[in-house]
Amino acid sequence: IGTKISSVIFSFAFSSQELKKLGLGSEVDLQVYEVPVEYQTVQSLVPSLWKQYHPLLVIHVGVSGMTATVTLEKCGRNHGYKGLDNRSFCPDSQCCIVGGPDCIDSVLDMESVAKRVTASGLGVAVSVSKDAGR
């Protein structure tokens, strides 16, 4: 996945005008974070963000230099991680959370979200992944 995440994520961040175009306006407190591709950072940062914001909705977005789209993750997988992260680390267990569920599926219709964002005129192409991080 690499380290060229920040420029894509921050160019994808919606401004207040763009939220209004989507009918969301001031009702949404949008928080955008760059989460490095680092197992240990994710294990500490993501729970701290949940604790800080108590979100009603979180959408994890995959960004890769190997694709021309922003990728919405339909599910999060816990096992089968064999590749090194940006710090050249891979857990011996090959999983993100030992004892955690194999997969956490989104309840959102990500295909519809991707179609609407792509067609919105925001200039962002969006795709859906069912195999997060791979």
Supply the pTM of this predicted model. 0.66
Is position 36 within any domain?
A: yes
Is position 80 within any domain?
A: yes
Distances from the Cα of 5 to the Cα of 2, 11, 74, 110, angstroms: 7, 10, 19, 21
Active site residues: 73
Q: Concatenated DSSP letters for 20-69?
A: HHTT-GGG---------S-HHHHHHHHHHHHHHH--S----EE--TT-SS
* Domain carrying residue 121: 6-129
**Number of folded domains that form the chain:** 1
The pLDDT value recorded for residue 13 is 46
Q: Calculate the average pLDDT of the chain.
A: 78
Taking only the tens place, the pLDDT of each residue in 12-53 is 445 556 666 767 667 777 788 888 889 899 889 989 998 998
Is position 55 within any domain?
A: yes
Q: Rg of the Cα trace of the chain?
A: 15
The pLDDT value recorded for residue 33 is 83
Distances from the Cα of 104 to the Cα of 28, 73, 77, 114, angstroms: 24, 10, 7, 19
Region of poorest pLDDT, from 76-90, 98-112, 119-133: 119-133
Is position 134 within any domain?
A: no
Taking only the tens place, the pLDDT of each residue in 48-103 is 998 998 888 877 776 677 778 888 888 888 888 888 999 999 999 999 888 989 98
- pLDDT value at 9 more than 90: no
The pLDDT value recorded for residue 94 is 92
Is position 71 within any domain?
A: yes
Is position 54 within any domain?
A: yes
3-state secondary structure of 77: strand
* CATH number, domain with residue 57: 3.40.630.20
